[in-house]
Structure 1
Amino acid sequence: MGIRYCTVSTQDELEQILALQQANLWANVSPEEKEKDGFVTVEHNFEILHQMNEVCPHIIAKDGDTVAAYALCMHPMFADKIDILKPMFAEIDTVVPKEEKYIAMGQICVGKSYRNQGIFRGLYNAMKAHVQPEFESIITEVDAKNTRSLQAHYAVGFKELKTYFSDERDWVLISLK
């Protein structure tokens, strides 16, 4: 059947995103896994994930009924909803012109058994197709220690906007046009 890309349309898909997030959360993966496969930093709850999806549906890669990977769409109206992301939005305001409409990619994650199959690139292609022309760019940040994620983002065309320090970490703010 293969992987298909679509937007989230059910509660079950949101719950599968949360399960995939837990399996790849910074606190839940070994140092070796962090270096080899990367990790996710932010832990969402169902309510905020659902609210974000209502404004701009999240992009998922599905294998049958299984959510294999996801890219969370986070409209700037949610800038003050997740504490660890507040500094990212403040930094965006310092480098992105006020008139530029952007969507934040709130988090991207590919399940372990689906890695190295082009799904990361597929998620961003689907996201770009879904949010343009309403949004000119997709902006996100990556923990500077997450070299796997940074390399993957640069490979699909992201460009660095700036690096900054927040929450005891160095962050790389990046943009895809």
Structure 2
Amino acid sequence: MGEVHVKVADRNDVDGILRLQAANLHSAGGMLSAEFPRAWFERWLDVMPVLVARDGVSVVGYLISSTVAANSDVGIVQAMLREVDLEEQHFIYGPICVDEYYRRKGIAAALYNKLREILPGTTPITFIRRDNSKSLAAHLALGMIEVATFTHLGRAHAILQASEA
């Protein structure tokens, strides 16, 4: 494994993000349930930070951040919002995706820590399907805490947020 660098994504990273996303979608055997099209990424790069981890020329991980308002019409986010009281400093964290070869090597932590550095004084909040035990364990190891649960389309989810702003 070469040295991995984490940075704020730009338009040159979108192809790599899309390749990694496609390989990790639920329909491809992965745990990502939402697919974001190219146009969404290209637009979102100017709104909130999208981070990438690169090993040389390849994108080996990415992390999306977004505002609560931008997701207020998304069914699963609406289900989450019914269970928690959010304050102004909250933002939606995720999805986060790391190439299978690079998992358990600190990439998720590096992406998360860089995002916290870029957005100081904010509180990331996310949801994770209960059957995604590896992701739940990884997020708890980052210092996130479970604050609530909800069910959407028959699947149980945990809601996690940073333990401190």
Question: One fold, TM greater than 0.5?
Answer: yes
What is the RMSD computed on CA atoms of the aligned residues?
1.7
TM normalised by structure 2 equals 0.89
Q: Distance in 1 between matches of 2:147 and 2:124?
A: 12
1:15 shift after superposition: 2.2
Question: Which structure has greater helix proportion?
Answer: 1
Q: 2:72 aligns with which of 75, 80, 86?
A: 80
SS at 1:140's partner residue? Answer: strand
1:80 shift after superposition: 3.5
Whether contact under 8 Å (1:52, 1:75) holds in the other structure is: no
Counterpart for residue 66 of structure 1: 58
Superposed CA offset, 1:71-93 (max 9, x none) = 111122311354443323x23xx
Runs of 5+ consecutive residues of structure 2 not aligned to the other structure: none
Identity %: 26
1:174 aligns with 2:151: no
Give the number of equivalent residue pairs.
162
Runs of 5+ consecutive residues of structure 1 not aligned to the other structure: none
Superposed CA offset, 1:12-62 (max 9, x none) = 312211211110111211xxxx6xxxx222111122222322111201111
1:167 shift after superposition: 1.6
1:161 aligns with 2:147: yes
Q: Distance in 2 between matches of 1:115 and 1:13?
A: 20
1:113 shift after superposition: 1.6
1:125 aligns with 2:126: no
1:129 shift after superposition: 0.5
Counterpart amino acid of residue 96 in structure 1: D
1:95 aligns with 2:87: no
1:168 shift after superposition: 1.8
SS at 1:41's partner residue? Answer: coil
1:146 aligns with 2:145: no
Mean alpha-carbon deviation: is it higher for 108-117 or for 142-151? 108-117
